[in-house]
Amino acid sequence: MSIKEINFDGIIGPSHNYAGLSHGNLASARNAGAVSHPRAAALQGIEKMRGNVRLGLTQGIFLPQWRPDVDWLTKLGTDVGNAEPHIRAAAMSASSMWAANAATISPASDTADGRTHLTVANLVTMPHRSHEWPQTLAQLRVAFSDQRAFAVHDPVPAPFGDEGAANHMRLTQRHDMPGVEVFVYGRSGGAFPARQHVEASKAIARIHGLDPARALFVEQSEEAIAAGAFHNDVVAVANERVLFTHEQAFTDKAAFYADLRAALPCVEIVEVPASAVSLSDAIRSYLFNAQLVTLPDGTMALILPTEAQDIPAVWTWLEQMVAGNGPIRKLVPVDVRQSMANGGGPACLRLRVVADPADIDPRFLVDEKRLDEIAALVSQYWPESIEPQDLGGTRLIARIEQSWLTLVDHLQLSGDLSI
């Protein structure tokens, strides 16, 4: 077996738009009503994946979802032509592109039955995302269909909100070794909702068969949520033995750090002090919504948005960090500005799965050649731009549907992913 961390990125869909549907997401609210550029967005995401492949990382994909979600509209007693504007926008949402919210993953080395467990996220807090999980689950069941290696679970039932891996971290000495799984939940963010419920996190730990001594439940700070950290991955990220976090990410960081060190003595905690980088600057730059990865030579790199370079306090701190003797040795800025404008950075766009690539359906794994093929389809079929008032237009919907059908057919998945 060859156990690796695989990053599955969501291909940004042809209905990518700025409807401002995500309450508590400052970037989404700030750009509500702006003209979006689905083609540029998808090509930026593909280029990020291409960069990961060139770094020597194993790369996977998830497909966009069929839009508009006709089944959801039907259950609401309407259709795309007659729905109220906010309902129509929710039915057209391309937010499944943020694959970090697709599911929570526990690798085989952590689970009681020795299989990798995946629980699809219910995303019940936000209406525009609450209807994603059936199509996400369908993809997971195709990509991870080998039941000897994987167990794919239905979502935790409402009302317990679960937002997937965006509120879950795993720390371990090495990816293929047993780890400590950290479930981060929220209680209150003042004007903004806390999206991850502690009962959802506890349910997933039980369903995955985790050792209670190696599953930590940690509360995200109200300050972080109120500042716009709608998910934990906006203020903290982990990779192997390293936790990279903002000083104000957690309600009781001292207790969390102590518990983490007791469960994993080799852990290295890299904490960014608020005196150097404010919560506001951390969230505006998406400093922590980065992919912290282990390169083939064993060193760690931080794949982060180019916006981090635009804020002097953030970039100065990062340059000082990599100049020192810490575990993070390389900075890799990437341009995902179309995603960032809707509130999702490099980490939002990917779901990490530790597994043997040989056990995964190869149609969901990519190299540079396959990425070039996908990019060519995007360049030909994805809309160049979408204005909010266009979302219900029949011509735009026909183009979005044709784009999806062409991509799914090219990837030879049309027989497995029914509409």
Predicted local distance difference test score (pLDDT) of residue 181: 98
- Mean per-residue pLDDT for 209-227? 95
Note the pLDDT tens digit of each residue in 321-333: 999 999 999 999 9
Q: What is the mean pLDDT of residues 125-148?
A: 96
pLDDT given at position 170: 98
Kindly state whether residue 37 falls inside one of the protein's structural domains.
yes
In a domain, 417, yes or no: no
Check whether 27 has a pLDDT greater than 90. Answer: no
Burial of 418 (0-12, 13-18, 19+ CB in 10 A): exposed
For residue 343, name the pLDDT band (cuts at 50, 70, 90). confident
Q: Contact at 8 Å (CB) between 142 and 414?
A: no
Paired residues of 116 in beta bridges? 150
**Residue indicated by tokens 């083609």:** 39
Question: Is 348 marked active-site?
Answer: yes
For the residues 301-310, what does the mean pLDDT come to? 96
Residue type, 28: S
| Cβ within 8 Å of residue 387, ≥6 positions away | 35
- State the average pLDDT over residues 236-264: 98
The answer to whether residues 168 and 182 touch, using CB atoms and an 8 Å cutoff, is yes
For residues 253 and 365, what is the distance between their CA atoms, to the nearest angstrom?
37
In a domain, 151, yes or no: yes
State the average pLDDT over residues 129-146: 98
**Phi first, then psi: what are they for 116, rounded to 5°?**
-80, 125
* Highest mean predicted confidence (pLDDT) among 25-39, 360-374, 378-392: 360-374
Q: What is the pLDDT of residues 67-86, one digit of tens each?
A: 999 999 999 999 999 999 89
Burial state string for 146-167 with b = 16 or more CB within 10 A and e = fewer than 16: eeebbbbbebbeeebbbbbbbb
Residue 318, in any domain of the structure: yes
pTM: 0.95
Q: Based on the residue annotation, tell me whether 163 is a catalytic residue of this protein.
A: yes
**Residues 1-14, mean pLDDT to the nearest whole number:** 95
Single out the residue of 113, 70, 117, 114 nearest to residue 90, CA to CA.
70
pLDDT of residue 230: 79
3-state helix, strand, coil in the chain (%, to 5): 40, 20, 40
| Contact present, 299 and 241 (Cβ < 8 Å) | no
Is the pLDDT reported for residue 202 higher than 90?
yes
Task: Tell whether the model's pLDDT for residue 190 goes beyond 80.
Answer: no
Of residues 131, 197, 240, 348, which has the active-site annotation?
A: 348
Lateral strand order in the sheet of 215-219: 168-172, 179-185, 215-219
Tell me, yes or no, whether 182 lies in a domain: yes
According to DSSP, the residues that pair with 291 across neighbouring strands are 303
- Cα–Cα distance for residue pair 334/357, rounded to 1 Å: 25
Does residue 24 register a pLDDT over 80?
no
Does 418 map to a domain?
no
Overall number of domains in the chain: 1
Query: What are 244's strand-pairing partners?
Result: 237, 270
Do 396 and 390 form a contact (C-beta atoms < 8 A)? yes
- Give the number of C-alpha atoms closer than 13 A to the C-alpha of residue 36, restricted to the C-beta side: 32
Percentage above 90 pLDDT, the chain: 87
Residues β-bridged to residue 180: 171
Average pLDDT taken over every residue of the chain: 94
In the set 163, 181, 240, 307, the catalytic residue is 163
The CATH number that applies at residue 99 is 3.75.10.20
pLDDT at 30: 64
Does 419 map to a domain?
Answer: no
Question: How does residue 348 score in pLDDT terms, banded at 50, 70 and 90?
Answer: very high
Residue 189 has pLDDT above 70, yes or no: no
Predicted local distance difference test score (pLDDT) of residue 367: 98
Min mean pLDDT across 27-41, 101-115, 125-139, 301-315 is at: 27-41
Q: Give the structural domain span for 108.
A: 4-410
- Residue 21 has a pLDDT of 64
* Three-state SS annotation for 104-155: EEECHHHECCCCEEEEECCCCCCHHHHCCHHHHHHHHHHHCCCCCCEEEECC
Question: In this structure, is residue 222 part of a structural domain?
Answer: yes
Instruction: Quickly count helices (H) and strands (E) in the chain.
Output: 15, 16
Q: Which of 181, 231, 246, 307 is catalytic?
A: 231
pLDDT at site 18: 86
